[in-house]
Amino acid sequence: MLLYHYPVKHISPMNRHLLSFTLLAVCVLLDGCFRPSAPPPPTTGDIYRPVYATSADVRNVQTLAPQPLRNIGKIYAKDNYLFVNEVGSGIHIVDNRNPESPVKLAFISIPGNHELSIKDSTLYADNILDLVALNIADPRNVRLVKRIENAFERSAYPLATNVRFECPDPAQGIVIRWEKASIENPQCYR
């Protein structure tokens, strides 16, 4: 049986472009139909529980005595001082005039702090949902200058993916961090 074959050279340039576009569109549409589904939640591994705080506790920014360095984040050098982020907790102030022997001066407790920046004598830091501005002209006497409430969006879910966790309950307060825990049949997965 012979089939008539229409030579491609007889297709006009405009029809070739239309044919190419049509084939491309069909490929894109078919590709979208065959996406694999999300993997099932893991049955083993780490499980997390939210740690809550009240709004008043979260917004309680204060200068404390020096604290041990545990979970160091970003470090900012300004004049003769180092401002060392303690991830999720606040900022250490270190006198670095003698780099051979730095001296811890104070710890600024800022719940949920991860970021910091300094301009002139003002330190800017995140405080869970808020942005706080602190006067650091005298590093031994840091003062809160301004607070911009709800400056940041914050997810109430763990940052990690492919983890199981206890579902957050907004009635219990603001989620300030996550801790590993033994939980029977956690209902949330990310």
* Overall fold of domain 57-148: Thrombin, subunit H (2.40.10)
Hey, which residues does 62 pair with through a beta bridge? 109
Least confident residue range of 9-13, 150-154, 171-175, 186-190: 9-13
pLDDT-derived band of residue 188, with 50, 70 and 90 as boundaries?
confident
> pLDDT class for 152, splitting at 50, 70, 90?
confident
Instruction: List, for residues 5-50, the tens digit of each pLDDT value.
Output: 555 555 566 666 666 666 666 666 666 555 555 555 555 567 889 8
pLDDT at 133 (0 to 100)? 98
Whether 127 has a pLDDT exceeding 90, the answer reads yes
Q: What Å distances lie between residue 154 and 23, 25, 170, CA to CA?
A: 43, 39, 13
Pairing of strands 122-127, 81-86: unpaired
Highest mean pLDDT among 13-22, 98-107, 163-172: 98-107
Q: How many percent of the chain have pLDDT more than 70?
A: 73
First to last CA, the chain: 59
Amino acid at 110: I
> In percent, how much of the chain has pLDDT > 90?
49
Q: Which helix (H) or strand (E) holds 152?
A: none
Q: Closest Cα partner for 75 from 61, 89, 93, 57?
A: 93
Mean pLDDT of 135-153: 93
Quick one: average pLDDT of 57-85? 95
